[in-house]
Structure 1
């Protein structure tokens, strides 16, 4: 299913597939944001590099163009967990790097004149009910220790940014912008092609190994082989390093000014609830309301009606476009950026829903590693990190945990506590 972002783009002629065996200085498997940013910064460092990107479908087909389009400093792992594994200093460096990445994305897009609606508006987190208030309180209380800025809001403060019924508390951070993710992908592709990068679409990588990638259309031999794929890459096995977590999206038709006045959500702001399985929402430049979230698709319909009743019609809220995809989630939540200098084999993955900014930071980091540049980025704790493998039954456990989290959220919304759901989450935690 095509996302609302991709549906609004004019068709383009795909790049030609690989035509037999070839060589390159660097071959990148995966034409999502991570692969594109990696290619961009490699050519920025050395314009003479022969960089080839290999993509099984078309560039941006995967999760890169299926999210809410939040360029956020958030990561799928808390700084407390990073500090536990790598120390407080390393956790602070990663948090600072992610905040800087939001600014870097905006700067790079302005420099390259990529028009994808990059707008700073911040993220608004809203709580309804005691459990969600407690989560937001913890977020606001712990953020300063990691250099993050989260401002506590009362219901009146939330109402200045969005009119969500039943809100009892909120928080806001400036470290978030929005983009049209499909236009971002298209813009980066155009920049790469103009700089001489080669892009082979409709070319499925069957096996990636040191110095070579075997595809269904020929073998690529290169000094550096980098993979930038998530959990459902066609043809290329990711083993048990990532779990494929379903994500869904919906978009309304363009809404009129009166409806937006009742919603109150300004362009550029990302709204997110404080549920265990949070739902994110934003306004598009053409006046649509877009929601995304993990779990079941039906949750988004309920969230649309609950968070934004002004949109709800006599029977159901109008929805123009629906889509789905899968996020790649590492077992410990920490993404990985790796390069074996001896073999030239590298990888970046596990960004979950944080990919717009995190993929940029990973691309810069991989470029520094490949070109041998010693920088603060190459010392970040995700460099060389390997998350523990998911067990063979990990997919089933994730499905059980997602259903339990959804039941726990439903119970909280009704003012109850589902002890059965919490017991399942204690056994199969999502974080």
Structure 2
């Protein structure tokens, strides 16, 4: 295998580690959490703080951070996949404003906990800039209250052909694998038990069945995100769609002087088929995007992490953005979860809790979801428990082959729309 094809640059940079022991057999707990990523760990963290007497068990098929939490673009942002106007139209201006305010505040909360728990996740709150580089993109940017002119946008991010853009302060760049692994250790220090190498086979009210035994608990939490479709009864709950990334070798100071991102602002442009990037703490460009196909039957396989055509497209886009052709040090990918209506959700009903469907914007949202689940499980009525996503149920995706046809047709149409706009 190409040495540049790693589980992720982030995970690979941490070096070797020892997995935690799997579940030794049948056991009981007060709360059993399926999934050792951000959502499951943040839920365990805040619940352990609020109710330290509870016996909390986290069950992870591989190791903490194996999924999207250890592979994502490292954007801890206040972004939400449902646009503000659409959310306000459904839930009212007041509730939409509160939702977006909580997400913005969550960016700071992640930084606060990382500092308090001594998690060196390279957190840098420089904000995020989305560049407008075609007339159509400029028109969209000008309609935003966050619009910035070409000179301001280019000063933040010195890409080619910048016509304007938008800027939000509500984003921090970070090293996602350092965050998730540090969070796992912080959770253990608070008495939570984590079993790695323990695959969840099914969830029912009061029990989690795994390949190493059954955990019985009055409260069960599903926090599997892109791997949710593998559970019986959840094939159509969330669609696993792949996002892929590349990381360059460290760039020289002269190149960074031209590119900018001096405060490690995250960056994208206003195309429809999403791209995203950051300047890492060791002066690389970590850059990713959508475009990999959805796989029939919501299948998730290791080989889908690597799509040569998408890696090539990402490299071409990076070269076109910045006029550079640097060595690529790593290539990787993984599934994220998309609900049918693109609306993430959090909930607890008759002892079964869940959170997810972040559509790729989960680094901060998972923290807010974890705090919300902790409130719901502890029985605390807070402003978080009244947010619009609490108790939301997206309708299921269509059965196959309609799901495969629809998602891949939408991906193709999105790419064609960008091509048309560039021309």
User: Please, what TM-score do these two structures have when normalized by structure 2?
Assistant: 0.91
What corresponds to 2:113 in structure 1? 108
Corresponding residue to 2:192 among 194, 197, 202: 197
What corresponds to 1:276 in structure 2? 272
Is 1:10–2:19 an aligned residue pair?
no
SS in 1 for 2:226: coil
What corresponds to 1:382 in structure 2? 389
User: Matches of residues 111-126 of structure 1 in structure 2 within 5 Å?
Assistant: 111-126=116-131
> CA–CA distance in 2 between the matches of 1:284 and 1:44?
32
Gaps of at least 5 residues in structure 1 are 141-149, 416-431
Give yes or no for contact 2:358–2:365 (8 Å, CA) kept in 1: yes
Corresponding residue to 1:228 among 223, 231, 238: 223
Superimposed CA distance per residue, residues 56-86 of structure 1 (whole angstroms, 9 cap, x where no aligned partner)? 1111111112111011000111122222222
> CA–CA distance in 1 between the matches of 2:103 and 2:229?
29
SS in 1 for 2:225: coil
Deviation at 1:249, TM superposition (A): 0.3
Is 1:301–2:306 an aligned residue pair?
no
Superimposed CA distance per residue, residues 143-191 of structure 1 (whole angstroms, 9 cap, x where no aligned partner)? xxxxxxx2x2222111211111111111111111111000000100111
SS in 1 for 2:217: strand
Is 1:262–2:261 an aligned residue pair?
no
What corresponds to 1:88 in structure 2? 93
Superimposed CA distance per residue, residues 10-45 of structure 1 (whole angstroms, 9 cap, x where no aligned partner)? 221111001110011100000110001000000010
User: Please, what TM-score do these two structures have when normalized by structure 1?
Assistant: 0.90
Deviation at 1:267, TM superposition (A): 4.3
User: Matches of residues 304-315 of structure 1 in structure 2 within 5 Å?
Assistant: 304-309=318-323, 311-312=324-325
Query: 189-198 vs 78-87, which deviates more?
Result: 78-87
Query: 296-305 vs 381-390, which deviates more?
Result: 296-305
Query: 79-88 vs 343-352, which deviates more?
Result: 79-88
What corresponds to 1:356 in structure 2? 363
What corresponds to 2:299 in structure 1? none
> CA–CA distance in 1 between the matches of 2:212 and 2:413?
44
Deviation at 1:233, TM superposition (A): 4.3
Is 1:41–2:36 an aligned residue pair?
no
Aligned pair count reads 397
Alignment RMSD, CA only?
1.3
What corresponds to 2:296 in structure 1? none
SS in 2 for 1:120: coil
What corresponds to 1:419 in structure 2? none
Gaps of at least 5 residues in structure 2 are 1-5, 293-309
Deviation at 1:374, TM superposition (A): 0.7
> CA–CA distance in 1 between the matches of 2:230 and 2:90?
33
Deviation at 1:194, TM superposition (A): 1.4
Superimposed CA distance per residue, residues 208-248 of structure 1 (whole angstroms, 9 cap, x where no aligned partner)? 01110011110000010001111334852432121111100
Superimposed CA distance per residue, residues 260-290 of structure 1 (whole angstroms, 9 cap, x where no aligned partner)? 1222222420011100012111111111111
> CA–CA distance in 1 between the matches of 2:148 and 2:388?
32
Is 1:210–2:205 an aligned residue pair?
yes
